[in-house]
Structure 1
């Protein structure tokens, strides 16, 4: 009887190995696709468009101006959110981005920056929505607001629901969501860095790689400079 089972078990093992290989290959293909998508959005125009889609307001800063662009901080601090994005774009790009929006093109040319009305409405996305966007889209512009929501969602003292692990330890739903796709080791330190510097980054999800390498960061300081302090 056992002799008859041996060939069957060998076939099962071979098939499982094939499935594992296929899944690993699929994950690496997805990782390459995500890197390509992330790099494709790593430019000023697409970053500005993404911020205008997500936020009620965005400051466009004139990258072509001679000297230092001026930003009205009193106006900045009266916006609906304390972390209004600032994005450096050329005059040509700005004209396209401001078309049909409430903005002040003369201020953009004369002083070097202008507040532009965006399409976003408050409240901003929840932590699990941000993690879902990273997984589904493969990349995400991680802003100061995003980082704050993720770290707040990680705080067990403020958690609405939590998971009890097999080791009888506790995880918030945010920790569990990040751990499920293997980015917890990188995501939370990235969020702390974003908050400390007040500078957004692009993160790229690369499944198939070892866990510490499943989330990569790209600096946006030359596109989105660090935000000013808020009183």
Structure 2
């Protein structure tokens, strides 16, 4: 009898075993569930009906429990992606405001006024303004967490979109900021406006302004692309 059970179990396909052992899909109808159990454990005698019923209850309980875990994981993943998209959108809006409002406004100032005004604005960031740091660093953490969860729960296009969003944001926004904008900010901060003449101020501005604006436009575009990719991911997720 044991060899017959093993032989019958060996004939089962992978999908059928997953149905029974892991509850990947709900079994369709009591007749199908009964037949599947019979093929794995063999027909039980009448005296073993209670054992068979208990086994069925255990199997269905595992199916329901796994389904509940899956829904919980998907809800958490959906929330993490939503937070990442929101924070990246805030970063994109911050950079966009600099590109179309702040820097064009500073452009109308004299060299001395331009340097001093940018120093004052940048000092707020360099003093680690709490809300800014929460958004800027939180966007990185949320995006990496979404990527890690996506590798566990998703595949195909959704996983590819998460990888693309993380790559675009980390290299296009964060790396650009670290390699170009922050060093330029530090150069401007090091200037003693009261101790420098008009020529030095003009040279410092010419060295700074065009490069900073070009880099900011690049990272703004990448931040917007990141946000759009995450929105596509959200649209592809099943409703929870």
Say yes or no: TM over 0.5.
no
TM class by shorter chain equals 0.3 to 0.5
Which one has the largest radius of gyration? 2
TM-score by length of 2: 0.32
TM-score by length of 1: 0.33
Q: Which has the higher contact order (CA 8 A, sep 6+)?
A: 2
Higher helix share: 2
